[in-house]
Structure 1
């Protein structure tokens, strides 16, 4: 088992001490639609034990299990795949109070339940990852559940497009012939689920081949921002993709474009920045020499004497107001980073061409903070964040208010260990329905997708 933050703090005598975080939480939500909410309160109260042993929630909230790993999909295409990860909810204008839920499956080789290969939707028949699509009615009844794309690998997160499709990201960079794969991997794929957006199981190659994590699109000009979660130093880069045909709907990203990596002058590694509010002006964008990484992974390529700026564990990426926000879940100097932290949130403002460290979770963090490797995040209806915890021990979905107060929102109860040595699967893919009435979230192991309703503040 990996060393946890709690173990580190216990060894340093810092348990329960220090500042929980530093930075400007309201800045994260400034200018977003959610920021118009009250953002008040400090949570919804203590979590109550679930008599069914699946998911603990505060009083007044309830959950519905939408899908479970291994059950038969309604389409008849096979069992529900394992390892559900990134996810997004889309409204359906044709049907009142119904929506689409698009869900990644982070399957590598030898997964418990692969994404079934479906004719016309499969990229590499030897790969086991992909996406599934659920259509829900107003009561969260599952109308349909089917494969959205198959034959991809390690589909971790992604992002939605302004034209209503899902970009699913492969968090790997194996090439054809490696690990049993028949085709190159490490791409972004576009998943459509309406008749006017039919999935084409071919990669968006101009957007790069690397260990993709998440994407966010500037709705004003169609520029796509991408995070890279590389597993070894030198760590990942923060990219932007300049499409040749921006905001042209389903064909926008297939028309190609230019991929660039961010360079922060005099800062080769973002982990060395520790003071919230630190702002860097004059951000540079350097064209990627070989986006397909035919011979050399992008992060190893030659970006000139000044290089590109790296960061460990680049995860979430989302658009808010006039800026793009991205998350570094942690950095560890022992693993090759320039510094140590338990989470950073960065804001890039394209109009000012500036980068600001908004929030940092430091080594002296309070144990009640969502600091066991915080992973997927989503904007909450009340104007704060929901954070999926991904670490050792009991796993939570935490809320973080605009005032910086942390509260528990959900706790996993499915023990995948033993009574003597219990273990719990991480949470992933937290997202909200378009109106904010429902939170959807996955338990990674055993693969379970929940819909959570209750007295959400708006």
Structure 2
């Protein structure tokens, strides 16, 4: 979710902005992007009970019975179906893709926004679709922004207004996409070839953090040679130091980010690096990178300024383990971490800044599916997500509207 509101330019942000203009990178994304400034990041972000504006995760109330869309929501919330795989998006001629996965939203200059959604199809059937909304939230167009790729799983938005879509294959790539579809997707080989899951950009440093969906997967960091330019830079892999959380991370350079078919995979190139069991969604918010590992049902919190790594949620030790099958993640303006389930109960579960945990919605009758692509509209009042396989193997993409900002 890219927040296009202008913010004062600190010297550091001004340097990053000028670097982007010098490199011509702003031409790739929409006009309302990095040039408007990076949001300020607190020097010492915290996760504990001392945070102001804390609202417990369960404060929105109990989930009601299923509505007409088969979704259980709290009072005051409503839903609508936006698209179904294999059918035309209402009001457009565009046929929505199969297996919808990771997604994000991007503000447009006329007060509207765009929701992008990956297609996790193999054999060149993957890619990215997009739905454009007007300022009232009505669908005005739908189209494709990336095609002929492999198993586009998750990804992440950039502060300069592009979408990074990730291929979850043995030598998967990251492609940088223009949400408007005006320019073709660009392969970013410098981000490595591996089983990519998702990526998040630290808005303070311009560094990228990447997850890998393997049982012995790694956590990666990419330091671009020029801020905002993903064509060159240094790819690193994390090593955990310590016997228990919080850990200290050490970043080790990766010898061969683009291994050949017969070469050693990136996750095995640096013996000292640490494994993360099934890396999934990842999101940056106010100095913290949140990411999930499905193999051990954990939600992690990495403080990027200090490289301190905490465990925010662990199903094995949680007093009330309502969250399982952790997958895609997004963070609201208020700092609530929304986690979609794959293999859980088809819920989106909220972790509040006080670490309380509660579901915000549950999809009924689709137990063989998974929740994918959670993302807020730029104003924070609408939540988008998909049920990847629906109730009959066909994906469904939804919008939920409600008082998210009052939580």
TM norm. shorter chain > 0.5: yes
Deviation at 1:62, TM superposition (A): 0.6
Change (3 A) 1:435 1:53: closer
Task: Name the SS for the 1:310 alignment partner.
Answer: coil
Match 1:430 to one of 351, 362, 374: 374
Deviations 1:370-390 (A, max 9, x none): 12x111121134432211111
Task: Decide whether the 8 Å contact of 1:412 with 1:424 is kept in 2.
Answer: no
Change (3 A) 1:312 1:51: closer
Change (3 A) 1:300 1:90: closer
Task: Decide whether the 8 Å contact of 1:39 with 1:383 is kept in 2.
Answer: no
TM-score by length of 1: 0.71
Aligned residue pairs, count: 356
1:152 equivalent to 2:149? Answer yes
Task: Name the SS for the 1:42 alignment partner.
Answer: helix
1:243 equivalent to 2:224? Answer yes
Match of 1:99 in 2: 113
TM-score by length of 2: 0.80
Change (3 A) 1:292 1:75: farther
Greater Cα shift, 291-300 or 57-66: 291-300
Task: Decide whether the 8 Å contact of 2:57 with 2:350 is kept in 1.
Answer: no
Match 1:286 to one of 252, 260, 272: 252
Deviation at 1:433, TM superposition (A): 1.3
Deviation at 1:84, TM superposition (A): 0.9
Deviation at 1:169, TM superposition (A): 0.5
Match 1:67 to one of 83, 97, 116: 83
1:207 equivalent to 2:188? Answer no
Let me know the Cα RMSD of the aligned residues.
2.6
Match 1:261 to one of 225, 237, 247: 237
| CA distance in structure 2 between the partners assigned to 1:61 and 1:44 by the alignment | 10
1:379 equivalent to 2:320? Answer no
Change (3 A) 1:426 1:367: farther
Match of 1:123 in 2: none
| CA distance in structure 2 between the partners assigned to 1:343 and 1:139 by the alignment | 37
Match of 2:8 in 1: none
Task: Decide whether the 8 Å contact of 1:288 with 1:298 is kept in 2.
Answer: no
1:189 equivalent to 2:175? Answer yes
- Which one has a larger percent strand, Structure 1 or Structure 2? 2
Deviations 1:136-184 (A, max 9, x none): 12333211111110111111111111110100001112xxxxxxxxxxx
Change (3 A) 1:364 1:242: closer
Task: Name the SS for the 2:144 alignment partner.
Answer: strand
Match of 2:281 in 1: 316
Specify every segment of 5 or more residues in structure 2 that has no aligned partner in the other structure, as ranges: 1-44
Q: Greater relative contact order: 1 or 2 (C-alpha under 8 angstroms, separation 6 or more)?
A: 1
- 1:110-189 equivalence runs, <5 A: 127-173=124-170, 185-189=171-175
Change (3 A) 1:203 1:215: same
- 1:396-407 equivalence runs, <5 A: 396-407=347-358
Change (3 A) 1:360 1:406: closer
Match of 2:40 in 1: none
Specify every segment of 5 or more residues in structure 1 that has no aligned partner in the other structure, as ranges: 1-25, 110-126, 174-184, 268-272, 332-341, 417-422
Task: Decide whether the 8 Å contact of 2:341 with 2:370 is kept in 1.
Answer: yes
Change (3 A) 1:279 1:429: same
Larger CA Rg, structure 1 vs 2: 1
| CA distance in structure 1 between the partners assigned to 2:48 and 2:221 by the alignment | 22
Deviation at 1:57, TM superposition (A): 1.1
Change (3 A) 1:433 1:30: farther
Change (3 A) 1:193 1:380: closer
